[in-house]
Structure 1
Amino acid sequence: MGAIYRILNTITGKMYIGKTLEKCPYTRWKEHQRNISNNIGCPALRDAVNKHGINNFRFEVLIICFDEDASYYEREYIKKFNTITPNGYNITKGGEGGGFIGKKHSDETKELIRIRISQYFKDPENRKANSNRVKSFYKKEGTKELARQRTINSDKWKKAKEEGRVGSGKRPPTEETKAKISAGLRMYNERRRLLNKQV
Structure 2
Amino acid sequence: MNGREERLHTREVVHIYRIYFPESDKCYIGQTIDLKRRMKEHLVKEHKSLIHRAFNKYDEWEVTPLHVCYSHDDANRIEIEEIRNFDSIHPNGYNLTRGGEGCDTFTNNPNKEGMRAKQSAARKAYFTNPENRTKLSDSMKALGDMHPSKRADLREAHSERMRGEGNSFYGKKHTDVTKQRISNANKGRVDSEETRVKKSESKIGKKNSFYGKKHNAESLVKMSESTDVTGEKNPFYGKKHSDKSILKMCIAQTKRQLARLEARLPTEI
TM-score band (shorter)?
0.3 to 0.5
- Which structure has the larger Rg? 2
So what's the TM-score if we normalise by structure 2? 0.32
